[in-house]
Every structure is written in structure tokens, then in C-alpha cells.
Amino acid sequence: KIMANENIEGTIMFVDVCGFTKISETTSPDIVVSMLNTYFDTMVKEIMEQDGIIDKFIGDAVMAVFRGEYHLDRAIDAALAIRNQVNSLPKEEGKETYQPKVSIGIKSGEMISGNIGSATLKRLDYTVIGDSVNTAARLQDAAKENQIIICESCYKQVKEAFKCENLGSINMKNKSQPLTVYNVIE
């Protein structure tokens, strides 16, 4: 079913598997794919548990969208669960021991949803685009291992529900003003 192109309110989450590129250089392709699929499956279960939608897989990252009531809270709940689950996954013993970790960026706001792609290829993906999506991706870039990074506007909405630490401000590409960011602890 073709969905309408529309402005929607929601929360975007990017989850990246830290240090995975390095492992993929020293490990056989079969093992790399199987490891990544295991990690993705763990993440997907937690995202679906909170009624999130998997938008796409990008390399070793997942992009998810949360809509409806308490979309930001549900995204953060999913992020906390993902962090816990991934941290409890067994180490991979190869040439180097690898313990998976995630870095996560979350941003709520308005976004455009629609079928984006190429008519020539006859390939259109229903996805979301816009500043909130770009910001979530940049927040994930700024996140270190085990960090769940949100911006100040999101922090103000959830500070009663979640314990967060102020990490100060970061400069973001294509933004004139630095953004104050918070790490969600619990």
C-alpha cells in the first residue's frame, strides 16, 4: 500500500555497532555477516517491543522511527534495552576478541514521510527525511560507546522520566549554533 507523503511528528533513533568496521577487516565475511545479523536481530526485537518501525539498515547501523503516544519515551526505553542486551551478548573470539557495544542518537520533532527513491529504478522506499532525521544521525555520530545521546529539547521532555547527564555542547555540521547534548543513563 502506497502511503501518503505527509509531515509527521515522531522520534528518530540511529543505533550504530561501535568498532565493527575494524573487525570486518580481519574476520571472514561469513562470520562478519552472522555477527551483524545477530546484533541487528537483538536491536530489532527491542525496537518492535516499543512499537518502533525499522526504517532501514545502513552498513552497521539501524535507523528506527517511533510515532504515536509517548514516542520519545518509547524510543529511549528501546535504546536502554538495546544497550543492556548488546552489552550482555557473548564476546566474539577471533583474531581479536570483540565485545559488541552500541552508540545511539535520538531526536524527536517534525519530519516528512514519503516514498523516496528512483522512478527509473522502480525502487521507492517509504522513509522519513528532514532536519530531525539528520540531527539524530549527527547525535549518533557524536555518541561514544554505550552512550545514548539526546539534545536539550528532548531532555526537557523526558527529564522527569529518565536520568541524564549533561555532556556540554557540540558543534554540528550545517548548524550555526552548538547543541547542548545529554547522555541517558537510566
Residue 115 lies in a domain: yes
* Window from 24-28, 127-131, 134-138, 158-162 with minimum mean pLDDT: 24-28
Res. 95: pLDDT tops 70: no
Helix axes 29-49, 71-87, angle to 10 degrees: 140
- Report the alpha-carbon distance of residue 61 to residue 40 in Å, rounded: 8
Cell numbers placing 64: 528506527
Q: What is the pLDDT of residue 94?
A: 67
> What is the number of structural domains in the chain?
1
Q: What is the pLDDT of residue 2?
A: 54
Q: Is 23 helix (H, G, I), strand (E, B) or coil?
A: helix
Q: Could you read off the pLDDT of 53-78 as tens digits, one per residue?
A: 999 999 999 999 999 999 999 999 99
pTM: 0.93
Residue 57 lies in a domain: yes
- Report the alpha-carbon distance of residue 100 to residue 42 in Å, rounded: 12
Q: Is 80 helix (H, G, I), strand (E, B) or coil?
A: helix
Res. 32: pLDDT tops 50: yes
Residue 1 lies in a domain: no
Residue 141 lies in a domain: yes
- Give the domain CATH number at 91: 3.30.70.1230
Region of 119 please: left (phi>0), alpha (psi -120 to 50) or beta.
alpha
Res. 4: pLDDT tops 90: no
Residue 111 lies in a domain: yes
Mean predicted lDDT score pLDDT of the chain: 92
Domain holding 83, by residue range, is 6-184
